[in-house]
Structures are given as C-alpha cells and as structure tokens.
Chains A and B, each alone.
Chain A
C-alpha cells in the first residue's frame, strides 16, 4: 500500500478526537458513506449512533 500520511492539521485533529474519546467519552464520528473521520461530538443523535465511535474499553 502506498501510505498517504496525515498532514499536521489532520493529525492534530485526529489525536484530539482520540484523546477526547478516551478521556472525556466524546464520540468520534465517521462518514456514513466511506467511514472516514469527520469530527467528534459530545452528543450523539439517534441518526448518528451507528457511525459514532464511543469510548471503547480496549486493551491498547
């Protein structure tokens, strides 16, 4: 795979979303069409649930 890296802004936004997810239970939103990252939110509407990644109690 030809890996295309995040630019600085994208990386900062993604790190902030991941940490907000882990530390503050913010949900990460993925695009309903292609699963790409589109932001994070404190409140998830019913329509967004399937595309909202809540804090996952994972090992990593």
Chain B
C-alpha cells in the first residue's frame, strides 16, 4: 500500500492521519504546529517540541510504505552524541531496520501523532541525560 499512490493509502491519510494532525494543531501556538510537506513519495511532518526549556526542531517522515513501515524521526537541532541516537540524528524508537515481527510499531494502533509523542518522550530523556549522564529509562521498554 503506497501512502500517496494507492486508494488504501489515501484513505488512511484522509480519514486517520490528517484529522489527527488537525486535532494536534488545534489551540497550538503557530510555531509549535505540525507542518506537512510532500517530499517525493513521502510525507514529512515538521514541528517543534519543547519538553523543558529548550526547543527542538524535529522531522518525522512517513515513507511510501507507511504505516506498514514505521515513521522515521530525526532531530534537526544539533544534539550531543548520546545513547539511542542513530546516524543522521535519527531517533531509535521502533527498532528501525528490524523485521516486522520484532518491530514495536503497530500500524493498527498508532498514528503519526504517536510518533510525535514518542519523539517528545525521547527528547525529555535527552534533557535528563544532558544533566546527569544517565538515560532515565531502561533499555527496550
């Protein structure tokens, strides 16, 4: 199912993903709203998160194979090298690159907003790690 080039993909987009983005953006300050851009066969969600005092520019990419394949999220704002940060400042969220069986992404339950919230939680952990040197959550939770 292609997100943009199949009927099932477009239905998912129109009935699930875009409405939940609209709901997320409602009452949100303009600079913290999600902006959606089409890039090739992908959709890119651009947004800012501020779990504590610092503002992070973040991108979540919905590949053509989304939602079967989990979204990819990377932080644009420069980060220190830390645990659970992959090449290109990609966040380690769903065991990216692993098989569908071992992936913790569940396309039947999660939307792109779930990925945004996962990024928020990752950044909250980063804020703690930055001060203490310890990641506050256990591995593979």
Q: Which of A's residues lie within 8 Å of B, judged by CB?
A: 1, 3-6, 10-11, 14-15, 17-19, 21-22, 28, 30, 32-37, 50, 53-54, 56-60
Contacts and interface: CB of A to CB of B under 8 A. Distances in A.
B101 to A, nearest CB: 14
Question: Which interface class (under 10, 10 to 19, 20 to 34, 35 or more) fits B?
Answer: 35 or more
B5 interface: no
B87 interface: no
A6 B28 contact: no
A60 B113 CA distance: 18
A19 B136 contact: yes
Q: Is the interface of B mostly helix, strand, loop or mixed?
A: loop
Contacts of A50: 20, 23-24, 26, 113
Given A4-B54, A18-B125, A53-B120, 10 more contacts: A5-B130, A11-B132, A18-B121, A21-B121, A28-B120, A33-B27, A35-B49, A37-B124, A56-B117, A58-B94
B86 to A, nearest CB: 10
Contact of A14 (B20, B24, B52, B106): B52
15 contacts: A18-B121, A22-B138, A32-B27, A32-B28, A34-B50, A35-B50, A37-B51, A37-B52, A50-B23, A50-B24, A50-B26, A56-B114, A56-B117, A57-B141, A59-B94
A4 B50 CA distance: 12
A32 B140 CA distance: 29
